């Protein structure tokens, strides 16, 4: 003999409906929300556990669920509120009687939703995108102090958290791209364990040197045009000094770099960063690099970038602690590629892409 559904008795639904217009409006809003949640959760529980019920009970619950759907879709005519309330309470009571052990409380559902949101956020942050704040002026004028941007973390390969083990690498960084990386060495307490942001100047196989502030890559100067011979350097602590700004084109990406101007009325301005003692490791730079010594910035001896590493520099060439000083950046320390500015003190820059890409071959005629 089939078991039948016996919903718990309840007060007259009509007596539960307030007569005051404001109270009625609030009651209907709450009832519709309750009915919508009950329909969704009830459908899920019935689909997952309904086969455990007697055929007659399952059929009755299915009919009550259909009645709830119909009540929610019904026109708002006289008696509509009573119909929806009745359908909601009957299905709720029957569901609790026969499948109560499989239902989740509202509190549990909220906790699970929050937990999944946290997990999803951590996964996205670890493997997809991460927000990054510019801490110093080494990338002025391209990026300003306190700029906030999103970093694409999956392009150069996913990294197992808290390690330097990478997998699923789509491609390696290209010249001209701005990358974020873990400072790879432990000889500078100021930088060790921190994320740095610089521009890739050379990749594996490239021969790079700097002569009179001009970067040469594989024997050819990086194309550049003078924008200003006496621009504001854009950073506090450099009052009285002006900068020469160049628009450069490297790897199909155009950007503005700067170095300090020197003239009859402009004093020489060497690199002002708080540099650690210069230590050149042959595995990092090669013994010839001892010919180069900070804070002399406008020249850099030719160096061939080995496999598995890149050479990086800041766009603010006379105030950037970069590859000219600490050496090569191993690929497994690179976190990702700079993407979109999501906050800047200059609101007109918000939403702009960090990289300005030109058509292929444009750099050759720059």
> If you search the block for the tokens 């996205």, which residue do you land on?
124
Query: Which of 68, 103, 138 is the last residue before a domain boundary?
Result: 103
What pLDDT was estimated at residue 241?
77
119 belongs to a structural domain: no
Q: pLDDT digit string (tens) for 81-138?
A: 999 999 999 999 999 898 888 777 767 777 878 888 888 888 877 778 889 999 999 9
Q: Which of 256, 252, 255 is nearest to 243 (CA)?
A: 256
186 by DSSP, 3-state: which? coil
Specify whether the CB–CB gap between 35 and 84 falls below 8 A: yes
> Are 57 and 152 members of one domain?
no
> Are 30 and 177 members of one domain?
no
Q: pLDDT digit string (tens) for 37-64?
A: 999 989 999 999 988 888 899 999 999 9
What pLDDT was estimated at residue 238?
62
The domain total for the chain is: 2
List phi, psi (to 5°) of 198.
-145, 175
Give the count of alpha carbons within 13 A of 206, CB side only. 25
Helices (H), the chain: 13-16, 21-49, 55-73, 80-99, 106-127, 323-326
What is the Cα–Cα distance from 225 to 249, expressed in whole angstroms? 9
State the CATH number of the domain containing residue 275: 2.10.109.10
pLDDT confidence band for 68 (50 / 70 / 90): very high
Structural tokens at position 292: 């180069």
The neighbour count for residue 135, using CB atoms within 10 Å, is: 13
> Are 160 and 198 members of one domain?
yes
pLDDT of 269 > 70? The answer is no
111 belongs to a structural domain: no
> Are 145 and 236 members of one domain?
yes
What pLDDT was estimated at residue 106?
67
What pLDDT was estimated at residue 35?
92
> Are 53 and 141 members of one domain?
no
Q: pLDDT digit string (tens) for 4-13?
A: 444 443 455 6
State the CATH number of the domain containing residue 48: 1.20.1270
The 10 Å CB-count burial string (b at 16+, else e) for 9-43 is eeeebeeeeeeeeeeeeebbeebeebbeebbebbe
What pLDDT was estimated at residue 203?
97
> Are 231 and 168 members of one domain?
yes
Q: How far is CA 298 from the centre of its chain?
A: 35
In this structure, is the dihedral angle defined by the CA atoms of residues 240, 258, 215 and 133, taken in order, positive or negative?
A: positive
Query: Which of 103, 121, 153 is the last residue before a domain boundary?
Result: 103
Mean pLDDT in residue range 254-276: 61
Q: Where are the beta strands (DSSP E) in 193-350?
A: 195-202, 207-211, 214-217, 220-221, 224-232, 242-250, 253-260, 300-304, 309-313, 329-330, 334-343
The neighbour count for residue 172, using CB atoms within 10 Å, is: 16
pTM equals 0.67
pLDDT confidence band for 347 (50 / 70 / 90): very high
83 or 192, which is more confident: 83
334 belongs to a structural domain: yes
pLDDT confidence band for 217 (50 / 70 / 90): very high
Structural tokens at position 213: 């502030």
What pLDDT was estimated at residue 123?
81
Specify whether the CB–CB gap between 262 and 268 falls below 8 A: yes
Structural tokens at position 40: 């969704």
Of 3-12, 28-37, 183-192, the one with minimum mean pLDDT is 3-12
The bridge status of strand 220-221 relative to strand 224-232 is unpaired
What pLDDT was estimated at residue 266?
43
> Are 176 and 240 members of one domain?
yes
Q: Which residues are catalytic?
A: 138, 198
Which residues constitute the domain of residue 85?
13-103
Specify whether the CB–CB gap between 101 and 15 falls below 8 A: no
Instruction: State the burial class of residue 119 (Cβ atoms within 10 Å of its Cβ: 0-12, 13-18, 19+).
Output: exposed
Residue 363 to residues 125, 183, 251, 302: CA-CA distances in angstroms?
A: 34, 30, 7, 22
> Are 170 and 41 members of one domain?
no
What pLDDT was estimated at residue 363?
81
Q: pLDDT digit string (tens) for 281-314?
A: 544 444 334 333 444 568 888 889 999 999 999 9
What pLDDT was estimated at residue 36?
92
């Amino acid at each position: 003999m089939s078991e039948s559904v016996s919903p718990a008795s309840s007060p007259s639904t009509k007596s539960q409906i307030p007569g005051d217009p404001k109270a009625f409006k609030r009651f209907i809003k709450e009832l519709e929300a309750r009915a919508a949640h009950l329909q969704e959760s009830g459908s899920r529980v019935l689909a997952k556990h309904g086969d455990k019920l007697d055929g007659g009970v399952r059929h009755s619950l299915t009919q009550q669920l259909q009645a709830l759907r119909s009540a929610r879709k019904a026109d708002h005519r006289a008696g509509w509120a009573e119909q929806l309330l009745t359908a909601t309470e009957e299905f709720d009571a029957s569901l609790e009687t026969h499948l109560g052990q499989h239902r989740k409380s509202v509190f549990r559902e909220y906790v699970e939703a929050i937990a999944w949101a946290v997990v999803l956020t951590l996964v996205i942050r670890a493997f997809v995108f991460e927000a990054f704040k510019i801490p110093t002026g080494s990338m002025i004028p391209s990026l300003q102090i306190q700029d906030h941007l999103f970093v694409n973390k999956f392009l150069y390969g996913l990294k197992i958290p808290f390690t330097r083990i990478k997998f699923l690498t789509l491609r390696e960084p290209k010249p001209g791209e701005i990358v974020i990386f873990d400072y790879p060495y432990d000889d500078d307490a100021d930088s060790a364990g921190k994320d740095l942001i610089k521009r890739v100047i050379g990749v594996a196989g490239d021969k790079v040197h700097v002569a009179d502030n001009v970067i040469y890559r594989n024997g050819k100067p990086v194309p550049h045009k003078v924008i200003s011979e006496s621009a504001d350097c854009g950073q506090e602590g450099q009052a009285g000094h002006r900068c020469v700004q160049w628009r450069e084109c490297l790897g199909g990406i155009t950007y503005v770099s700067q170095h300090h101007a020197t003239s009859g009325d402009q004093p020489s301005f060497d690199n002002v960063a708080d540099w650690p003692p210069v230590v050149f490791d042959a595995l990092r730079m090669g013994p010839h690099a001892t010919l180069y010594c900070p804070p002399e910035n406008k020249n850099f001896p030719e160096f061939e970038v080995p496999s598995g590493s890149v050479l990086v520099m800041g766009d603010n060439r006379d105030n950037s602690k970069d590859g000219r000083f600490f050496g090569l950046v191993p690929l497994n320390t690179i976190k990702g590629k700079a993407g979109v500015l999501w906050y800047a003190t200059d609101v007109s820059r918000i939403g702009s892409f960090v990289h300005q890409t030109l058509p292929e071959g444009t750099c050759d005629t720059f």
